[in-house]
Amino acid sequence: MDRDKYEKYQSDIIVDLLKHYDIKHIAMNPGASFRGLHDSVINYGANDPELMVCQHEEIAVQIAHGYARATGKPMGVILHNLVGMLHAQMAVYYAYIDRAPIFIMGATGPMHEGRRRPHIDWSHSALVQGEAMRNYTKWDYQPHAIEGVPESFMRAYSTMVTEPAGPIYMCYDAWLQEEKLTSEDLAMPPENMQKAPAPMGADRDTLSTMADVILDAKHPVILVDFIGRQPGNFEKLVTLAETLGCGVWDINNSLAFPNQHPLCISLDHESLKDADVILGIDVRDWEKPTHKLVSTTREVTSHVPEDCIWMEIGFAELEMSAWAFDYGRYQPKQHAALGDPRLAMPELTEIAQTKLENNKALTSARDGRVRAFSDRHRQIFADWKAAALGKHGSDPISYAELTLITWDVVKDEDWVLATGTAREWVRKLWNFDKPYRHAGRSLGTSTQIGMSLGVALAYRGTDKLVLNFQPDGDLMYDAGALWTAAKHEIPILIIMCNNRAYYNDWEHQERMAELRGTDADKAHIGMDIFDPEPDFATLARSMGMYGEGAITEPSEIAGALKRAIAVVKSGKPALVDIVVAHR
């Protein structure tokens, strides 16, 4: 393109802003409502940010979701007018409750009635289009003139990345995009502008009180959730836990604490039965990790003693949904501080260190707690290893055996687990020793494949081996995601956990049959993925990527994984289909 002769269009301004804010990728499914912006990205912007074509809008959002989890940075997504936005709804909702910053750009047929094409620009457009996603985005806006584009972009970006982070939606009128730029003095973001506010600190007096409570406790536990998204927090939490002498339970929406650290008690409910203090750091759902659920009867009982002191640092009262119940049951706290953990954790550590200095009684008590938690940690990991070895030779292959075989293959690689945890066996058997090892647990069905590709995109061009344990039902929702992985050379090892069922729901039907005395042998009806069984390896090959399987013999797994890893190391995706047991 001859830039000396080129007349700028208004959609070019959006590209300038995307570059200014260093947004490197845009996931999208094609649509005419953003044809002006599309042309600007390709020709004016030289495909920078990179446009990535997806077969469904949900996949586009999920890729950006996984990318945000892995990097803490936003990707762009473009959704075609009203219909593309409606396709993407569920993925946007999951990104919102998972606090993933995503810069979503929508488009609408011209609001200028005289510029609308017959039928299509009417039926595919809406009045205040962002209203449809307002309940699960942090902010939405639809500028009416080019003068409103830079200002709203700046506000949207700052809002999106400020904790608690989340997706925003900007709707750009098709005619606004397609008009030539006539203003020569459009106010753009200044180079020296701070793009988002600095994190806010917690009240120091409250932190000091928390330190006193913990240092006087016998069995204090830190319950932690989203903090792993910010660089340095993994290490800060280790220092804090060691200073205070606390056990740590990582809820795993982001990897926040090394699972093999002696103070890690994640997944061990027995360690909560003596808890006299629980400090939640950036926790949304307090109830699930601390309570026992009898799913058949919906009976919920606490693992934690009634006299336990509950405390909190984080953002609980900010950005709470008025629409969905994603915030969970309220847990009354004796002490709570609103503030960013990346500042609060080192400050609480410094306060505790001061209190411990020259206080032999507090130091001795802290060291005793560390020994007790360490003993418990060693015991639970030994028990898990023994339980996994006891499942060897099961037919079909157990998740535990698959996890151990995979670990032997990847343990010497610089590996990254994208989403699924193979029924939590990876957390019980692998060594998550670095903060990037895991981007966070899986979410609902039809989210994992897209999020996993986003994590792999984040590490494309590096020497890290990204893999995921991929449920079959999840991939059946969005099999076209495999084509996107092949098209854009997203290197990932997809290990199919093929139990040929939507087993979570199958299990619920078994519970209902047990409760009602009906026929449990019929529980699979409406839940199974067999007769016929999908051939995932052939499906992968048909999409242009490497595929192998279905494997039913444990002895064949390691060799198949090694062959697939060689493909991934060449910069391409690979899939290995393994038939596993339901449980």
Q: Do 438 and 318 fall into the same domain? A: no
Confidence of residue 563 (pLDDT cuts 50, 70, 90): very high
Confidence of residue 253 (pLDDT cuts 50, 70, 90): very high
For residue 529, pLDDT beyond 90:
no
Q: Do 209 and 167 fall into the same domain? A: no
Confidence of residue 158 (pLDDT cuts 50, 70, 90): very high
- DSSP state letters, 516-562: HT--GGGTTTTTB--SSPP-HHHHHHHTTSEEEEEE--GGGHHHHHH
Q: How many residues does the chain have?
A: 583
Residue 548 is predicted with a pLDDT of 98
For residue 50, pLDDT beyond 80:
yes
Residue 371 is predicted with a pLDDT of 98
Residue 508 is predicted with a pLDDT of 81
Q: Do 400 and 328 fall into the same domain? A: no
Give the residue-averaged pLDDT of 229-236. 96
For residue 1, pLDDT beyond 80:
no
- Residue 381 or residue 502, greater confidence: 381
Residue 61 sits in a domain of what CATH number? 3.40.50.970
Q: What is the CA radius of gyration of the chain?
A: 25
Per-residue pLDDT reduced to its tens digit, 392-412: 989 999 999 999 999 999 999
Residue 138 is predicted with a pLDDT of 96
Q: Do 403 and 545 fall into the same domain? A: yes
What is the distance between the alpha carbons of residues 341 and 437, in angstroms, rounded to a whole number? 21
Per-residue pLDDT reduced to its tens digit, 282-301: 998 999 999 998 888 899 99
Residue 445 is predicted with a pLDDT of 81
Confidence of residue 553 (pLDDT cuts 50, 70, 90): very high
**Of the residues 143, 178, 213, which one is the last residue of a structural domain?**
178
Confidence of residue 503 (pLDDT cuts 50, 70, 90): confident
- DSSP state letters, 202-259: PPHHHHHHHHHHHHT-SSEEEEE-GGGGSTTHHHHHHHHHHHHT-EEEE--SS--S-T
What is the domain extent for residue 401? 390-579
What is the distance between the alpha carbons of residues 337 and 283, in angstroms, rounded to a whole number? 12
Domain contains 183? no
For residue 243, what are the CA distances in angstroms to 238, 334, 346?
9, 22, 10
Share above pLDDT 90 across residues of the chain, in percent, rounded to a whole number: 83
Per-residue pLDDT reduced to its tens digit, 355-401: 999 999 999 999 999 999 999 999 999 999 999 999 998 999 999 99
Confidence of residue 100 (pLDDT cuts 50, 70, 90): very high
For residue 2, pLDDT beyond 80:
no
For residue 322, what are the CA distances in angstroms to 83, 137, 174, 549?
25, 12, 31, 46
Confidence of residue 451 (pLDDT cuts 50, 70, 90): very high
Residue 370 is predicted with a pLDDT of 98
Q: Do 396 and 527 fall into the same domain? A: yes
Share above pLDDT 70 across residues of the chain, in percent, rounded to a whole number: 99
Domain contains 191? no
Residue 554 is predicted with a pLDDT of 96
Q: Do 128 and 238 fall into the same domain? A: no
For the beta sheet containing 277-281, the strands, ordered from the edge strand earlier in sequence to the opposite edge, are: 247-250, 220-224, 277-281, 309-314, 335-338
Domain contains 359? yes
Q: Do 309 and 398 fall into the same domain? A: no
- Residue 50 or residue 114, greater confidence: 50
Q: Do 512 and 402 fall into the same domain? A: yes
Q: Where are the alpha helices (DSSP H) in 424-535?
A: 425-429, 448-458, 472-477, 481-487, 503-516
**Of the residues 382, 403, 438, which one is the last residue of a structural domain?**
382
Domain contains 196? no
Domain contains 357? yes
Residue 511 is predicted with a pLDDT of 85
- Residue 7 or residue 212, greater confidence: 212
Confidence of residue 501 (pLDDT cuts 50, 70, 90): confident
Give the residue-averaged pLDDT of 436-457. 93
Domain contains 339? yes
Q: Do 165 and 85 fall into the same domain? A: yes
Confidence of residue 113 (pLDDT cuts 50, 70, 90): confident
For residue 571, pLDDT beyond 90:
yes
What is the distance between the alpha carbons of residues 389 and 579, in angstroms, rounded to a whole number? 19
**Of the residues 352, 382, 412, which one is the last residue of a structural domain?**
382
- Residue 442 or residue 49, greater confidence: 49
Confidence of residue 555 (pLDDT cuts 50, 70, 90): very high
Three-state DSSP state, 186:
coil
Residue 515 is predicted with a pLDDT of 82
Q: Do 174 and 85 fall into the same domain? A: yes
Residue 353 sits in a domain of what CATH number? 3.40.50.1220
Residue 319 is predicted with a pLDDT of 78
Q: Do 275 and 161 fall into the same domain? A: no
The lowest-confidence range among 222-231, 332-341, 510-519 is: 510-519
**Axis crossing angle, helix 341-356 with helix 204-215, rounded to the nearest 10:** 50
Per-residue pLDDT reduced to its tens digit, 202-231: 999 999 999 999 999 999 999 999 999 999
For residue 6, pLDDT beyond 90:
no
Domain contains 509? yes
Q: Do 328 and 430 fall into the same domain? A: no
Residue 125 is predicted with a pLDDT of 86
Domain contains 192? no
For residue 351, pLDDT beyond 80:
yes
pTM value? 0.96
Confidence of residue 499 (pLDDT cuts 50, 70, 90): confident
Count of structural domains within the chain:
3
